[in-house]
């Protein structure tokens, strides 16, 4: 990974931080894209110390703000002439309905729309880099996800699993459609299910019910490093060089849900996403 430039969203905790640490150990230049400055700086210090690498940088980016994403991409292109690996890792799980700064339901807004815009704005850097890789962190929860275009804001009946699972289905639909669009460019796009991981991803595990449930489940959950294994594999392995448009679990390609292979659904989601984030005139 020496001389490789790697951008990881949500790199200040959990799987993202573990991924950053391991890839930094391998010699990559790591850009940690994080929303919170204080937590990001703490994570930056930890990643540098654990990896024994100084080639790790923090850049702030709020995926719940389209203007912030655009500003981030402008700054990134000013500083870096290449991007070898983009790992869209950041994600939120929210028990209550919340909105992004642009008025989108938060889970779809951050987990899908934010990464959709970020990736598209960085495509020139990716296609100009040799054999660049895009990696989208999805989830097995996508299997119960449904994209209901008539209620993207989930104003009628919001619940955590409905919102989360559809955002993870959107990740896979985006992966497959982008892979089709980038065919022949040398850029590969794959997605993955990291497994059940012991992280603080949008859930309060320090108090009350959340703390109790986490304590009960902890013995059955992977560590962040174990959860990061497939992301690291897709970023580094020669075995997947040239492989694109696949869904991985435990470092192996597996079948995703039937709806995730719906090409018409993927195209419709792409067109809606373009319009929503302002890429379509």
Q: Which residues are catalytic?
A: 164
Quick one: three-class SS letters along 150-179? HHCCCCCCCCHHHHHHHHHHHHHHHHHHHH
Which run of H or of E encompasses 208? Answer: helix 208-217
Q: Which of 42, 62, 266, 45 is nearest to 172 (CA)?
A: 266
Q: From CA 120, how far away is CA 123, in angstroms rounded?
A: 5
Q: Are 172 and 191 in contact (CB under 8 A)?
A: yes
Q: Which of 22, 21, 3 is nearest to 12 (CA)?
A: 21
Contacts of 74 by beta carbon, 8 Å cutoff, 6+ apart: none
Coil, strand or helix: which one is 238?
helix
Kindly give the pairing relationship between strand 252-254 and strand 246-249: antiparallel
């Amino acid at each position: 990974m020496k001389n490789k430039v790697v951008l990881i969203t949500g790199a200040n905790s959990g799987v993202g931080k573990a991924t950053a640490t391991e890839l930094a150990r391998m010699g990559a230049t790591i850009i940690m894209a994080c929303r919170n400055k204080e937590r990001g700086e703490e994570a930056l210090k930890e990643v540098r110390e654990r990896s024994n690498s100084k080639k790790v940088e923090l850049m702030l980016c709020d995926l719940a703000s389209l203007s912030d994403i655009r500003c981030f991409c402008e700054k990134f292109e000013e500083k870096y002439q290449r991007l070898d690996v983009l790992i869209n890792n950041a994600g939120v799980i929210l028990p209550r309905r919340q909105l992004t700064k642009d008025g989108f339901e938060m889970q779809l807004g951050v987990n899908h729309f934010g990464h959709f815009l970020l990736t598209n704005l960085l495509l020139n850097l990716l296609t100009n880099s040799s054999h660049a890789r895009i990696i989208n962190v999805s989830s097995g929860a996508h299997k119960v996800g449904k994209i209901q275009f008539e209620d993207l804001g989930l104003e009628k009946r919001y619940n955590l699993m409905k919102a989360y699972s559809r955002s993870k289905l959107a990740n896979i639909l985006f992966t497959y459609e982008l892979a089709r669009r980038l065919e022949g460019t040398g850029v590969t796009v794959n997605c993955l299910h990291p497994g059940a991981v012991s992280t603080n991803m949008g859930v309060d595990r320090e108090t009350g019910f959340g703390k109790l449930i986490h304590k009960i489940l902890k013995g059955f959950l992977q560590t962040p490093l174990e959860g990061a294994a497939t992301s690291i594999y897709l970023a580094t392995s020669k075995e997947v060089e040239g492989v694109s448009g696949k869904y991985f679990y435990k470092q192996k390609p597996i079948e995703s849900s039937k709806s995730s292979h719906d090409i018409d659904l993927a195209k419709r989601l792409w067109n809606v996403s373009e319009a929503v984030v302002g890429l379509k005139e």
